[in-house]
């Protein structure tokens, strides 16, 4: 077998040479142009609000040993016997309240798609780059997204788990899933992963600008703002997950940027699941306590969520709002996530361009 003339057939994009393919030997498998894929990865979301789409989504999510660390012998009877018999209905009813009816999908999917489309536009000056998006759980799957990039000739993939703060329950499992997809491929692309960006000046700056603009649109000035992050079980933190530290640092930097003190911007943790202790202070308990202490106006921002989703729109925007108002609060606002806003896209683009160094 003669040597495969790949380097003459397809010059590396970084070489600056004009792409002029030399003829391949007869019978040689096709050689694609060498491109670079950028893959935006988010958590995932159900395909519908009915019982079975919710069941499939929750089963995949809650079967992940990165998310639930209990032994399978203990967890599976609880998952199949209890959680998956009740939660699909209850969560499905909540998803109905925030569903994007126009597109018949959840906001998380709408925003993630839009982020990918806007990023592709922003990177139009890099013709060798292709952008795709995928989910850790559900659709579009990470595997399909990787395949789409490969089919376009990407032999290098920059994957971007869209979580500012690292957690094994989110970032690590997104990367696991990417490598699971590569395990099935003969010609597996080289991979880089965008690191957590909880203290990146571009991210802190974008959050501060987006918060300032959202607060300026309100007809009141909140006495307190909560920076509410998704929680994780406390034992995960005790065993070394750095998520809590990342969240605390994001809030501190945000406070410094805004020039606020510790009473004005408070870190809390939301979205508990199951009976064990999660990271504290809890968002709901803090809201009740503050209302009990006489706080009448409050806003909540969710710096740990790159896009609005069930946990921000329904849990904060409806449940926690109601709790605050019932406990004596009078004015409440939920500050939108960065989403596909110009500020949000600046962060994504800045991180991607930085991490592409050396490839372009
Ligand atoms: C033990 C269970 C869970 C852990 C640990 C967990 C960590 C975690 N999750 C996010 C971000 C999101 N979670 C979302 C939904 C969601 N999360 C859990 C459970 C755990 N999350 C469940 C069961 C659900 C589904 C909704 C429900 O039934 O209540 C979402 C929203 C998805 C959407 O479709 O809108 C996001 C985003 C982070 C950042 C995190 C740890 C840091
Ligand atoms: Fe979650
Ligand atoms: Fe810490």
Q: Counting atoms of ligand 1 from 1, which one is nearest the CA of 54?
A: 28
Q: Is 209 in the pocket of ligand 1 (CB under 6 A)?
A: no
Contacts 24+ apart (CB under 8 A), 14-22: 14/359, 14/360
Dihedral, CA of residue 39, residue 40, residue 44 and residue 46, to nearest 10: -90
Q: Is the Cα dihedral 219, 222, 225, 228 positive or negative?
A: negative
pLDDT of residue 31: 86
Q: What is the best residue among 91, 271, 318 to mutate for testing ligand 1's pocket, by most ligand atoms within 8 Å of CB?
A: 271
pLDDT of residue 20: 61
Distance of CA 252 to the CA centre of its chain: 21
Q: Is 309 in the pocket of ligand 1 (CB under 6 A)?
A: yes
Q: Is 211 in the pocket of ligand 1 (CB under 6 A)?
A: no
ipTM for this prediction: 0.95
225 assigned to some structural domain? yes
Dihedral, CA of residue 4, residue 10, residue 15 and residue 18, to nearest 10: 140
Beta bridge partners of 141: 135
Q: Is 232 in the pocket of ligand 1 (CB under 6 A)?
A: yes
Per-state percent for the chain, helix, strand, coil, to nearest 5: 45, 15, 35
Question: Distance, CA 349 to ligand 1 centroid (Å)?
Answer: 25
222 assigned to some structural domain? yes
Any idea which ligand is nearest the CA of 165? 1
Task: Look at the chain and report how many structural domains it folds into.
Answer: 1
CATH number at residue 230: 3.40.50.1400
Q: Is 68 in the pocket of ligand 1 (CB under 6 A)?
A: yes
350 assigned to some structural domain? no
Q: Is the Cα dihedral 207, 209, 213, 216 positive or negative?
A: positive
Q: Is 338 in the pocket of ligand 1 (CB under 6 A)?
A: no
pLDDT of residue 109: 98
245 assigned to some structural domain? yes
Question: Distance, CA 47 to ligand 2 centroid (Å)?
Answer: 17
C-alpha 266/C-alpha 281 separation (Å) is 9
Question: Distance, CA 199 to ligand 3 centroid (Å)?
Answer: 14
Question: Distance, CA 18 to ligand 1 centroid (Å)?
Answer: 47
Instruction: Say if residue 277 carries a ligand binding annotation.
Output: no
Question: What domain range includes position 258?
Answer: 201-335
Q: Is the Cα dihedral 195, 197, 202, 207 positive or negative?
A: positive
2 assigned to some structural domain? no
109 assigned to some structural domain? no
Residues in the chain predicted with pLDDT less than 50, given as ranges, are 1-11, 15-18
151 assigned to some structural domain? no
C-alpha 163/C-alpha 161 separation (Å) is 6
The model's pLDDT over 308-353, given as tens digits with 9 standing for 90+, comes to 999 999 999 999 999 999 999 999 999 999 999 999 999 999 999 9
Beta bridge partners of 332: 298
In terms of phi and psi (left: phi > 0; alpha: psi -120 to 50; beta: otherwise), the region of 339 is left
Q: How many residues does the chain have?
A: 360
Count of Cβ atoms closer than 10 Å to residue 125 Cβ: 7
262 assigned to some structural domain? yes
pLDDT of residue 7: 45
Q: Are 281 and 231 in contact (CB under 8 A)?
A: no
Q: Is 40 in the pocket of ligand 1 (CB under 6 A)?
A: no
Question: Distance, CA 245 to ligand 3 centroid (Å)?
Answer: 4
Instruction: Say if residue 60 carries a ligand binding annotation.
Output: no
C-alpha 21/C-alpha 224 separation (Å) is 62
pLDDT of residue 33: 86
pLDDT of residue 114: 99
């Amino acid at each position: 077998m003669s040597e495969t003339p790949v380097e003459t057939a397809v010059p590396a994009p970084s070489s600056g040479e004009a792409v002029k393919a030399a003829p391949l030997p007869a019978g040689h498998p096709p050689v694609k142009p060498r491109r670079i894929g950028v893959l935006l990865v988010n958590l995932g979301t159900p395909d519908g609000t009915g019982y079975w789409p919710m069941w499939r989504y929750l089963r995949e999510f809650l079967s992940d040993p990165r998310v639930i660390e209990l032994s399978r012998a203990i967890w599976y009877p609880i998952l199949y016997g209890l959680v998956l018999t009740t939660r699909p209905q209850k969560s499905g009813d909540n998803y109905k309240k925030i569903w994007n009816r126009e597109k018949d999908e959840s906001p998380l999917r709408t925003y993630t798609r839009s982020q990918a489309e806007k990023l592709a536009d922003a990177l139009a000056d890099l013709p060798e780059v292709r952008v795709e998006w995928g989910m850790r759980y559900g659709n579009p799957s990470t595997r399909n997204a990787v395949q789409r990039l490969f089919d376009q000739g990407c032999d290098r993939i920059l994957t971007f788990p869209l979580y500012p703060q690292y957690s094994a329950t989110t970032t690590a499992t997104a990367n696991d899933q990417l490598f699971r997809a590569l395990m099935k491929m003969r010609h597996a692309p080289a991979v880089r992963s965008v690191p957590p960006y909880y203290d990146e000046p571009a991210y802190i700056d974008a959050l501060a600008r987006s918060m300032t603009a959202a607060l300026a649109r309100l007809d009141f000035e909140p006495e307190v703002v909560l920076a509410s992050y998704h929680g994780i079980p406390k034992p995960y933190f005790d065993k070394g997950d750095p998520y809590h530290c990342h969240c605390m640092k994001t809030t501190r930097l945000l406070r410094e940027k805004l020039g606020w003190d510790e009473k004005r911007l408070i870190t809390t943790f939301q979205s508990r699941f199951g009976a064990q202790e999660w990271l504290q202070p809890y968002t709901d308990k803090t809201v009740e306590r503050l209302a009990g202490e006489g706080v009448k106006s409050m806003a909540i921002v969710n710096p740990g969520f790159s896009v609005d989703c069930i946990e921000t729109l329904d849990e904060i925007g409806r449940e926690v709002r109601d709790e605050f108002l019932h406990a004596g609060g009078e004015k409440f606002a939920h500050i939108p996530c960065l989403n596909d806003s110009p500020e949000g896209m600046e962060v994504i683009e800045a991180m991607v361009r930085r991490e592409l160094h050396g490839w372009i």
